[in-house]
Amino acid sequence: MSMSKVQQQRFRISPSGRGAIFRMKRWFYATFYSNISDKEVKESNRKAWLDISRRLIEEINKRNAADKPTRIVLEYEADPKGLFKPISATVEVLELKPVETFKTYFLEETKLKEVEQLKTMLSELLKKARELGVSIEELAKS
């Protein structure tokens, strides 16, 4: 006879593996420690947390993922007394990369100032290129 059905807690993406474990820790202590009156259940839950957190830290460190965006999905059972039985944790280590970068101007003056700065930089580059005896075509190729 099973104690209870398997439950799943899916956490939000954290900026780092450490942050994901910390987010899980806050949830665990709020759910399976602070509100439990039975001292034996409370101590058993604390030991279970220490074990899973240690193992998750080891696995995350093994993969150099402590500073990478991470999400954890925890599967567990809990009996009516609040006894926590962890089953598994799925750790998603994510890669943060821009898909597209663009700039939008809201003030025409800002755009015009930037164009003027570009013209100044270009004229300085042209002058420097002439001094070095390099053509614009040569520069554009490299």
DSSP string, 52-110: HHHHHHHHHHHTT-TTS-EEEEEEEEE-TT--EEEEEEEEEE-----S------S-HHH
Rounded to an integer, what is the distance from CA 109 to the centroid of its chain? 38
User: Number of C-alpha atoms within 13 angstroms, CB side, residue 91?
Assistant: 25
pLDDT above 70 for 2: no
pLDDT mean over 23-31: 96
In contact, 79 and 6? CB cutoff 8 Å:
no
% of the chain residues with pLDDT over 90? 66
What is the per-residue pLDDT for 142? Answer: 66
What digits encode the pLDDT tens for the residues 44-58?
A: 999 999 999 999 999
pLDDT mean over 89-110: 86
pLDDT above 50 for 1: no
* Every domain of the chain and the residues it spans: 7-93, 108-141
In contact, 32 and 84? CB cutoff 8 Å:
yes
What digits encode the pLDDT tens for the residues 68-88?
A: 999 999 999 999 999 999 999
